[in-house]
Chain A
Amino acid sequence: KAGVTQTPRYLIKTRGQQVTLSCSPISGHRSVSWYQQTPGQGLQFLFEYFSETQRNKGNFPGRFSGRQFSNSRSEMNVSTLELGDSALYLCASMVDQETQYFGPGTRLLVL
């Protein structure tokens, strides 16, 4: 099976812009979770989607949002970008309540 894919892999934006990141889970996986990784805060949970519904949300401002489509693909959006949003954004998929498998990540740089 193909693994979790994330696009784009690298992205440069300026403050105030918005960005949309995409995640395609492993075939058959219905749960998609998003994480942010920064040098200062480490790996932090953003939110999780299952069957197009957000089930869990981490402690992030409302500028961070996401959605899941009927084919389980997911997108996350960050509006009004800030310098501190520069990070590696990781997507993980699982069947449900089982082992999570991570994608390669999208590295976002906000200038």
Chain B
Amino acid sequence: DAKTTQPPSMDCAEGRAANLPCNHSTISGNEYVYWYRQIHSQGPQYIIHGLKNNETNEMASLIITEDRKSSTLILPHATLRDTAVYYCIVRANNAGNMLTFGGGTRLMVKP
């Protein structure tokens, strides 16, 4: 699986959009971009994933650049409950079920 690079921490004001970047410059054509978050000491929570098109669900939007070398997770209206560590992972769906977690981005939403 390709390696990802994320900023170690970010702050966001409550009610504003949180934009979390992820670099995956060595991504392969069959690898998806997955986002999970982990709220303190809980199990990681699946947020969203995509291959090359932008995706949106009730939690977030995922914007993937045309060359697929980077992506941005957008939480449109961050709340205090969105404070968590956000992990960007790339994985091919036919390459086994192991997820390789990096350090993630610690997002702090402030009032």
Contacts of B46 on A, CB cut-off 8 Å? 99-102
- Give the size range of A's interface with the partner: 20 to 34
Name the segment of A11-19, A75-83, A88-96 touching the other chain. A88-96
The digit string for B10-36, where 1 denotes a CB below 8 A from any CB of A, is 000000000000000000000000101
Give min CB distance, A60 to chain B, whole Å: 13
When C-beta atoms are compared, the residue in chain A nearest to B103 turns out to be A42
The digit string for A68-86, where 1 denotes a CB below 8 A from any CB of B, is 0000000000000000000
Main secondary structure of the interface of B (DSSP, over half): loop
Give min CB distance, B94 to chain A, whole Å: 6
A104 and B93 contact, CB distance less than 8 A:
no
- Give the size range of B's interface with the partner: 20 to 34
A48 to B95, CA, bound (A): 13
Main secondary structure of the interface of A (DSSP, over half): strand
A45 and B43 contact, CB distance less than 8 A:
no
Give min CB distance, B32 to chain A, whole Å: 9
B103 and A48 contact, CB distance less than 8 A:
no
A56 and B97 contact, CB distance less than 8 A:
yes
A56 and B41 contact, CB distance less than 8 A:
no
A43 and B101 contact, CB distance less than 8 A:
yes
B-to-A contact residues, CB < 8 Å: 34, 36, 41-46, 49, 87, 93-94, 96-103
